[in-house]
Amino acid sequence: MPLPSGDRLIVLVGLPGSGKTTVGKQLARRLQLPFVDSDHEIEQRLGCSIREFFEREGEARFRDIEAEVIDALTRSGPMVLSTGGGAVLRPDNRQRLKSRGKVFYLRSTPEDVFRRVRHDRNRPLLQVADPLQKLRELHAARDPLYREVAHYVIETGRPSVATLVNMIVMQLELNGSPGVPAG
């Protein structure tokens, strides 16, 4: 049975490497919804990787395109949407995400994220001399923004992906989404 119309867009926000894509894919499968990764959609539109575009055009231009893609995606129907880690930086994005969907902040400590992504070379903001320090800075700057946009905060810590998905489904069920399929 499908989700009620107000719960047809489920948005995941959080630091790069917090599990948005991994959890999002499993959640979408569980809820029988399409899964969309906004960074993947942006790369399709750009015809190159975000890292290449970042290096060539800069972060400000990237954020312009990201805002256009988020606006379009949040209008395009039911889905589980995984956003880029910096999608919350623009007030327009925060407003659109919060008003058009149910937003879950997958909250991870910088240390947890570092353990998961320390070998990943495709994260442009982490290609610095001290990625852990960069993650600490990102967390300090973005945590209040993630909290502002989120309807729910899910502490990622050590739970398995299946446990995180169950936590999200339980929140949806507890808050008036009786159409969530049992898993």
Residue 63 labeled ligand binder:
yes
- Rounded Cα distance, 65 and 171, in Å: 32
**Beta-sheet pairing, 35-37 with 79-82:** parallel
- Rounded Cα distance, 92 and 96, in Å: 6
* Domain 5-174 class in CATH: alpha beta
Mapping DSSP to helix (H, G, I), strand (E, B) and coil, where does residue 36 land?
strand
Residue 183 labeled ligand binder:
no
Mean pLDDT of 135-161: 93
Residue 21 labeled ligand binder:
yes
In the block, residue with structure tokens 């800075």: 137
By CB neighbour count within 10 A (0-12 exposed, 13-18 middle, 19+ buried), where does 45 fall? middle
Residue 157 labeled ligand binder:
no
Confidence class for position 13, pLDDT limits 50, 70, 90: very high
Residue 39 labeled ligand binder:
yes
Q: What is the pLDDT of residues 56-72, one digit of tens each?
A: 999 899 999 999 999 99
Q: What is the pLDDT of residues 90-138, one digit of tens each?
A: 999 999 999 999 999 999 999 998 888 777 766 666 677 888 898 899 9
